[in-house]
Structure 1
């Protein structure tokens, strides 16, 4: 059984965060904060790429439940892009090179749209959706990844994680509806995963390096970098814990809901209550 994606229109008040916190919002250090920031710089254009690649195949889907899930997927991704635009504005206002990095992201994804076929674009989306599903699981299950962080940004990341979990199988199910489960479909999705994952992580680390270089208050010693190493590669590190679920993607019969982690979705109720947009006032006509 799968979770049902729900489009939620929330307002995290990112525009009310002091821009001085852009590189200091995470208690585990500036490199950790800028690693998250670097990922955020990908999301607005990345979410639009995901929407584009899934929407292309919507007419091949006959299942009405999957069609409804596609609509919810598009709505959720649009909201994620909007809120990460606000987040990225905070980074820009801190004097960091967010705008240039976002332009590069837009150009890169634009090139992929212009030069790669729809099946390859959808396979890239599958790979990155699996990464975000793994990341989402950890952000919800591992408190140390966000404990003590600036509350609004912590809430944004947790909300994003819940909704990525809710729709983690939508692109995958669209892919199977369009291409089936045969050897050719398996080869395409797994080969793109092998290519996309190291390239994506390399870009995130390169973006992080650019943010750190421009951050005048960046740490000069090694202590925070050692903490960043533990954050990524320690026993309970982010990438360390992605190895097993990442390898699961290569099972011929893999499906994202093989890992049934719906118990983590309860976090959204508190978030929705705290950050729901107030209802627009009713205008009465005399």
Structure 2
């Protein structure tokens, strides 16, 4: 991979976007309990996760002299705050369905606060940059092929499209703080992605299982749902498995997030939002342009 190649767009802060989340059905992904709850479990992570990312970057904010990076950090913080607000609304829908959201949130809060308290600032920013690497792959993973999100309710599809767009826009911010300001060593950087990936899979699977239990599925039924649904994500041809090459780029010595191309329909979303002011219409245009 050539280190000269750069694909970058500046972060843009967008607020007060209405995704009509209170109108979505219970099983909004193809009426499939497993796929819905797996994504719901991911949504549960974002509010507390975004707060951790913000705090990790703030640990180094006063050391940044470069004005361009200072502005990007400011926009990164504002974008992440908006993501937290949007997914909090998604989580409110789960509370209305009887899901133990506060239990999950408290567990996440304690874990992230424990990392901030007990680990070095360098480790925290490395964990943030590694997590941002994962979320930056969302756009291509979920929207590169139209079929992937075809059976997702359009309001949730729009939320995920917007989140994916902004993750691409600020994908290099935490990385640049980690590399240029914190000067995190390569061993810590590699370790951070392994830990972030492992914890995300373990805890997401745990929350998915717990929510399916609340939905009334027996232990055997849940096992069957996992056996059928998990390969969609992580099987040989799973949606996440297809991102293996981009994922592993992180471990290359000269890797930088800007080496990954921006998704082809990025401008489609930008233009449709500017034209209509409606994130749902923008999300539909973004999704429809996939391969």
Give TM class, smaller chain: 0.7 to 0.9
- Structure 1 residues 276 and 192: CA distance shift in structure 2, 3 A: closer
For 2:95 and 2:145, locate their aligned partners in 1 and report how far apart those are by CA, in whole Å.
29
Partner of 2:208: 208
Once the 2 structures are TM-superposed, how far is the Cα of residue 72 of structure 1 from its aligned partner? Answer: 1.0
Match for residue 112 of structure 1 among 96, 100, 115: 115
Task: Point out the more displaced range, 166-175 or 24-33.
Answer: 24-33
Shift of 1:274: 5.0
Q: CA offset at residue 142 of structure 1?
A: 2.5
2:145 is the alignment partner of 1:138 = no
Q: Distance in 1 between matches of 2:198 and 2:130?
A: 11
Whether 2:278 is the aligned partner of 1:275: answer yes
**Correspondence for 1:5:** 11
User: What TM-score, normalized to structure 2?
Assistant: 0.85
* Count of residue pairs the alignment pairs up: 270
Match of 1:15 among 15, 22, 28: 22
Aligned residue among 77, 80, 90 for 1:74: 77
Please state if 1:232 is matched with 2:233: yes
Q: Could you say which residue in structure 2 is the equivalent of 1:31? A: 34
The alpha-carbon deviation at position 242 of structure 1 amounts to: 2.8
Q: Which residue pairs with 1:263 in the alignment?
A: 264
Q: Distance in 2 between matches of 1:53 and 1:275?
A: 32
Deviation at 1:195, TM superposition (A): 2.2
Q: CA deviation at 1:90?
A: 0.4
Do 1:124 and 1:193's aligned partners in 2 also have CA atoms closer than 8 Å?
yes
Contact residue 28 and residue 228 of structure 1 kept, 8 A: no
Deviation of 1:267 after TM superposition, in Å, equals 4.3
The CA deviation string for residues 76-125 of structure 1, in whole angstroms up to 9 with x for no partner, is 10100000000000011011112211111111111111111211110110
The CA deviation at 1:190 is 0.8
Determine if contact 1:123/1:189 at 8 Å carries over to the other structure.
yes
Report the CA distance between 1:250 and its aligned residue: 0.5
| Structure 2: gaps of 5 or more residues | 1-5, 281-291
Instruction: Give CA-to-partner distance per residue, 1:240-285, whole Å, 9 cap, x none.
Output: 12321121100000001111225342243335635369xxxxxxxx
Question: Is the 1:155–1:271 Cα contact (8 Å) retained in structure 2?
Answer: no
- C-alpha root-mean-square deviation of aligned residues, in Å? 2.3
Q: Please say which of residues 31-40 and 131-140 is displaced more in the overlay.
A: 131-140
Q: Which runs of 5+ in 1 are unaligned?
A: 278-286
After superposing on structure 2, the runs of 4+ consecutive aligned residues of structure 1 that deviate more than 2 Å are 142-145, 216-227, 233-236, 266-277
User: Which shows bigger deviation, 214-223 or 244-253?
Assistant: 214-223
Q: Is the 8 A contact 2:50 2:83 kept in 1?
A: yes
Task: Give yes or no for contact 1:29–1:227 (8 Å, CA) kept in 2.
Answer: no
How far did 1:133 drift? 1.1
